[in-house]
């Protein structure tokens, strides 16, 4: 088949790799324009662009898919199918309907659960035991198109949004390779989603990362894992932003002092046999801190941070 591929971040590379390795004719790779990144704001290409150029593939980086000249160029490639994996833009109707086999998308959730822009963060945040990956045909709605193939995968306690996203897109690449031949021959008919079961993962904002210590330690542990890529989970200490990089939930008895009624947000030293040396009292239990990052500094282990900042113990962090 003649394939157009659309993807941008590093976890979008495995599906493109398998398309290349399987011998499909990739006639164009669409990815986001080069953008400034890092403290120096150096303009960098997307990971997908780097890989595609290494393979000698044609790379196209439009600022919009809605422009007439962009559509004309896309149509001139005469692709049989468009494969999308975290491209970063909503495809216009005319693009969705352009190729004969339509646009096939890899979505990192068990649709119709967690439609929308942040499905992996949402599945961790909501405490789901399992998730999965869906290969679907795009329609004009938000992740509402019919399902071509789907596989379930467990969520591990140590999973963050980064590790889980990477694993799901690797699984999605394999699933795409398995189902694409049958789909292209018409032997695999997509099934409609059950719209009544749909849930929606909204777009995250910077404010979502503010830690509300009145919530339970379990909830905040899920937040730290779900927001590890962005926006992070953060509070303030001595006028500076303090990011919680890694944490774990602990019962209240991990620190006997909590029986004295320490308010949520109180930084406490934990029992010597605890998995970490410092924690924060929450609305239910203690959030054990494993790695933290003070504004303008590198992230460090919580034990080292406490040794270098003795005033941290006993302080009350705001919500």
| Other Cβ atoms closer than 10 A to 269 | 15
Res 68 pLDDT > 60: yes
Res 257 pLDDT > 70: no
In tens, the pLDDT along 91-128 reads 999 999 999 999 999 999 999 999 999 999 999 999 99
What does the pLDDT read at residue 118? 97
- What gap in Å lies between CA 31 and CA 22, rounded to an integer? 21
Res 259 pLDDT > 80: no
Res 258 pLDDT > 70: no
What does the pLDDT read at residue 101? 97
What lies within 8 Å, CB to CB, of 121 at 6+ separation is 161, 201, 204, 226, 227
In tens, the pLDDT along 21-44 reads 999 999 999 999 999 987 788 999
Question: What burial letters (b/e) apply to 116-146, b meaning 16+ CB within 10 Å?
Answer: bebbbbbbbbeebeebbbbbbbbbeeebbbe
170's tokens? 């690797």
Res 75 pLDDT > 90: yes
Res 253 pLDDT > 80: no
What does the pLDDT read at residue 226? 98
Confidence of residue 260 (pLDDT cuts 50, 70, 90): low
Least confident of 10-14, 41-45, 116-120, 213-217: 41-45
| pLDDT mean across residues, the chain | 95
Confidence (pTM): 0.95
Full set of structural domains in the chain with CATH: 2-197 (3.40.50.170), 206-312 (3.10.25.10)
């Amino acid at each position: 088949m003649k394939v157009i591929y659309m993807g941008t971040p590093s976890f979008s590379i495995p599906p493109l790799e398998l398309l290349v390795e399987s011998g499909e004719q990739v006639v164009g790779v669409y990815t986001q324009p080069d953008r400034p990144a890092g403290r120096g704001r150096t303009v960098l290409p997307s990971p997908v662009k780097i890989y595609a150029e290494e393979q000698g593939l044609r790379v196209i980086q439009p600022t919009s898919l809605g422009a007439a000249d962009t559509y004309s160029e896309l149509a001139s490639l005469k692709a049989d199918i468009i494969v999308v994996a975290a491209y970063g833009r909503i495809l216009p109707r005319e693009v969705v309907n352009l190729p004969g086999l339509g646009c096939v998308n890899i979505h990192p959730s068990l649709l119709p659960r967690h439609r929308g822009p942040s499905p992996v963060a949402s599945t961790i945040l909501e405490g789901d035991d399992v998730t999965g990956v869906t290969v679907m045909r795009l329609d004009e709605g938000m992740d509402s198109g019919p399902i071509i193939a789907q596989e379930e995968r467990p969520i591990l306690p140590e999973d963050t949004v980064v590790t889980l996203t990477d694993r799901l897109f690797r699984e999605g690449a394999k699933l795409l390779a398995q189902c694409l031949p049958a789909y292209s021959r018409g032997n695999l008919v997509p099934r409609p989603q059950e719209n009544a079961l749909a849930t929606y993962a909204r777009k995250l904002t910077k404010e979502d990362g503010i830690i509300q210590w009145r919530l339970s330690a379990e909830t905040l542990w899920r937040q730290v894992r779900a927001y590890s890529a962005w926006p992070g989970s953060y509070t303030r200490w001595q006028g500076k932003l303090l990011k919680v990089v890694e944490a774990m939930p602990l019962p209240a008895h991990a620190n006997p002092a909590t029986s004295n009624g320490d308010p949520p947000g109180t930084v406490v030293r934990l029992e010597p046999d605890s998995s970490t040396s410092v924690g924060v009292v929450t609305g239910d239990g203690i959030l054990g801190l494993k790695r933290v990052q003070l504004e303008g500094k590198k992230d460090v282990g919580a034990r080292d941070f406490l040794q270098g900042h003795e005033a941290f113990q006993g302080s009350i962090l705001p919500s």
